[in-house]
């Protein structure tokens, strides 16, 4: 493992969801000087998203995940909106190793940091396997998505 860089003081804290693991992805990001927190160091492994999202949001942290359901299930959408945070979802294919996932996220870090700095939360965005941030959903999009999923 290489020597870790120190994150800049004004760098956002990125919370690594459990689905991205607690070893390879966090190690690559920490070694690159990204200020991260890891799900399993703070919450039980099986903690529901709608329980930890408000805690993460209250701390002002952004979320890195590969759980696309966070923007399609009503309880998670509601928690995301109420947490008022930035969520970045890695879109991946099954052939991607943890190291490939880490590299895609690492490539996206400058863009993620700019979005956090310049776009008001809540935001939900995708990260492509090539490390490009796209599919950005803001407040209005998230509210509309929530309404569609709660209509009976």
Contact (Cβ atoms closer than 8 angstroms) between residue 100 and residue 66: no
Chain segment 82-116, per-residue pLDDT in tens = 999 999 999 988 899 999 999 999 999 999 999 99
- For residues 114 and 12, what is the distance between their CA atoms, to the nearest angstrom? 10
Q: What is the pLDDT of residues 38-76, one digit of tens each?
A: 999 999 999 999 999 999 999 999 999 999 988 889 999
Share of the chain above pLDDT 70, in %: 93
Go through the domains of the chain in sequence order and give each one's CATH number: 14-150 (3.40.50)
Mean pLDDT along residues 115-141: 93
> How does residue 5 score in pLDDT terms, banded at 50, 70 and 90?
low
pLDDT of residue 11: 79
- Model's pTM, two decimal places? 0.91
């Amino acid at each position: 493992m290489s020597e870790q860089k120190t994150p800049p003081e004004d760098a956002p804290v990125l919370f690594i969801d459990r689905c991205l693991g607690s070893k390879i992805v966090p190690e690559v990001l920490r070694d690159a000087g990204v200020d991260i927190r890891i799900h399993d160091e703070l919450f039980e492994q099986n903690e529901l998203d709608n329980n930890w999202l408000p805690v993460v949001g209250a701390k002002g942290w952004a979320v890195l995940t590969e759980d696309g359901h966070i923007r399609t299930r009503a309880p998670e959408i509601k928690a995301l909106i109420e947490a008022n945070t930035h969520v970045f979802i890695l879109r991946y294919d099954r052939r991607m190793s943890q190291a490939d996932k880490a590299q895609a996220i690492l490539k996206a870090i400058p863009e993620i940091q700019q979005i956090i700095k310049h776009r008001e939360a809540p935001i939900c965005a995708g990260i492509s396997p090539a490390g490009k941030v796209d599919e950005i959903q803001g407040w209005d999009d998230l509210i509309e998505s929530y309404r569609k999923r709660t209509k009976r």
